[in-house]
Amino acid sequence: MKNTQRGIAPIIIALIIAIIISGGASIYFLSTKTKTVPQQNQQQTQQQESNQQASTTTTAADDCALIATSHFRSVNNIIVGMGPNGAVMGKGYLDFQGNAFSGQTGGDVLISGTYTCAQNVLHIKNSNATATYDSDSKILLWDGVEYVRAP
């Protein structure tokens, strides 16, 4: 009986190790998997975004044009960095030039990228950030932080 147990134990251990390795590889693959879009689909998506922008109302189109050449400052102070005594508070900012933007929206990291605007909703490319512009209050809401247009 001892010989049988000795023969099964290494097999069971090898199976457990194989399961752990394959599970880890699966988790790694799923966490690093990126979405790829064929070139033709990218062109169709860009065309659809252009069509959406062209079909916006006059007010929304005017606001999107206004945003495209604006500088915004946060209404309230936000964390803009870390100093020797902890968080440093200050005004965050967002600068827009055409379909590009840059700014500091929290922490000591600067952001930049591209966006599209349709009906006062900014779609930030390659980001989970959300942004909307309220025509009445003149507030740009970027990930829950309010910004006003600065001179």
How many CB atoms neighbour CB 89 within 10 A?
A: 12
> Which range has the top average pLDDT, 5-9, 49-53, 110-114?
110-114
Looking at the chain, the whole-number percentage of residues with pLDDT higher than 70 is 60
pLDDT, averaged across the chain: 78
Higher pLDDT, 131 or 54: 131
Length of the chain: 151
pLDDT tens, position by position, 76-107: 999 999 999 999 999 999 999 999 999 999 88
Looking at residue 99, its pLDDT comes to 94
For the chain, which residues make up each domain, given as ranges? Answer: 1-33, 39-150
Give the CA-trace dihedral at 139, 54, 114, 127, to 10 degrees: 70
